[in-house]
Chain A
Amino acid sequence: MTELLPLMLLGAVIGLDVVCFPQMMYSRPLVAATLAGAFVGDATRGLLVGVLLELIAIATLPFGASRYPEWGSAAVVGGAIAATLHTDRAGVITLGVLAGLATAWAGGWTLVKLRQWNAYLARRRRPALDAGARGAVIGLQLAGLTGDLVRAALLTGVAYAVLFPVAVHLAGAWSFSGPPSRSVVILLATAVATSAAWVIFHSARGARWYFAGGVAVGLLLLLVR
């Protein structure tokens, strides 16, 4: 696992983007999984995992203090696992998506813990903050950023170290052929994305007709290709 440390670094930088810095959304699964795949030598396989995770991630709306999965580090783990398996067995993409989903779930929990830790630090520094100490304000911000960087690195490292051997074992014993393997995961990802699109957009006047028109165009493009 020579790729573990570089992947932890990539996961740290990408995990930091999710909330703390700079939120330019290179932490979206589409980007992060592709970068992770390219990092270990197979950008296309990383992209396939990223596309499937991105479909599922559309349902995540990071409103205010809501709790949500952490897709950045998760996509790095999922994309890297699928790309590192170096096998054409049917279940590789499915296993990458599965690893990404499991890591996203755990990552959401780590974000909650980080925010509780930030609150603890802020309580400890309350007297200095109330006195208007600039060092306290800047120190808390840097502590939060550092904490998030470390959180994302550890999450990526632990998830990859645990899930990669499991994925190798499962890929070796995978029995379904390619079409059913892909069809199950794409069916679920498309269903989650479609329901998310409905929930998010249906309140906009006429959105359902725009969606229907889009589906018609999409199917037409499929027919003429």
Chain B
Amino acid sequence: MTAPAFSAAAPSPAPAPSLPAWVWVKVFTRLLAIQGAWNYESLLGNGIGFCLEPALRYLPGGVHGAAFKEAIARESAYFNAHPYLASVAVGALARAELSGVPADRIERFRTALCGPLGSVGDRLVWAGWLPFASLISLAAFGLGARPLLVIGIFLVLYNAGHLALRIWGLRVGWTRGLAVAPALGNPLLRRGPAHVARAAAAAAGVALPLTAARVLDGGPALLAVVLVGAALVSILLVRVHGRVEGYKLALVLIALFALLSVAR
């Protein structure tokens, strides 16, 4: 019977050597480019190897040693995760490799880590924090903010969460190693997506009418017509969800409108 690679009851990590600060700077900078070679076959795999490479140089024998080459080959294989939460994997895998954890255990750990880091990250970031930051900025626009303030609000708000998540992930991965599972039960990751979704829903409610009013720059009657029309079309879009993409529908209808405008 083999030990589980990834469970809440995983043992405490073996002591690992400390790495110089510049190595962490390199690893973190590379994390920002983790999707540089993303493809439909190995997905994020090459990016994981790329991010780990500065840390793996500290394996016995250095970059020319067998341990380094085996680790690079192992870590560059197929991997899938949300790009921001991949920092958890990079931290944990660096710890495991430098602690001399057996290869088969590392490979099982990598496999087990893919699912949680993908689904949690997608819900928390792509379906939560990103639309939330976007809608807050749109609300600021609707309230009359100038261009610099609108984009400043978005970039500061979004990246406060983005960079904090990457730094937290790298830190918790390195600290916990293969015992990182309990950290993924962090309340922020478990309940955060639902809280962010509710906040984003409220922000959407505030932002949409305000944004429409500022762009339209017309009277209240026309605004009412636009908002009611938008509500009706949105109901239709929800009903055909999965069959029609909103942006393609908008592209076709706006193109037809433009043709009508020049043809009449």
Contacts and interface: CB of A to CB of B under 8 A. Distances in A.
Interface of A: 19-26, 28, 30-31, 34-35, 37-38, 43-44, 46-48, 51-52, 54-65, 69, 91, 93-95, 97-98, 101-102, 104-105, 115-116, 118-119, 121-123, 129-134, 137-138, 140-145, 148, 170, 173-176, 178-179, 181-201, 203-208, 210-219, 221-222
A22 B33 contact: yes
Contacts of B71: 132
Q: Which of B142, B204, B216 is the most central at the interface, judged by chain A CB atoms within 10 Å of its CB?
A: B204
The 10 A-B residue pairs with the shortest CB-CB distance in the complex, in nearest-first order: A214-B205, A132-B69, A191-B233, A192-B246, A144-B37, A204-B197, A195-B237, A119-B39, A118-B39, A194-B234
Contact of A52 (B193, B209, B215, B235): B215
A170 B226 contact: no
Nearest to B31: A22
Contact of A195 (B47, B238, B262): B238
Given A25-B159, A61-B127, A201-B201, A116 B39 contact: yes
A218 B234 CA distance: 18
9 contacts: A59-B245, A145-B37, A179-B222, A183-B216, A185-B254, A190-B212, A195-B234, A201-B197, A222-B209
Nearest to A24: B159
A61 to B, nearest CB: 5
Contact of A61 (B33, B126, B200, B247): B126
Contact of B50 (A138, A148, A176): A138
B40 to A, nearest CB: 5
Given A193-B204, A207-B198, A218-B207, A183 B162 contact: no
A101 B254 contact: yes
Given A94-B257, A133-B69, A188-B253, A30 B206 contact: no
Contacts of B70: 132
Contacts of B133: 25
Contact of A51 (B215, B225, B233, B255): B215
A24 B162 contact: yes
B198 A98 contact: no
Nearest to A61: B126
Interface residues of B, number: 104
B1 interface: no
Given A20-B33, A221-B210, A201 B204 contact: yes
B173 interface: no
Contacts of B238: 195, 198-199
Contacts of A46: 147
Nearest to A189: B250
B218 A210 contact: no
A217 B204 CA distance: 11
B138 A30 contact: yes
A143 to B, nearest CB: 7
B127 A58 contact: no
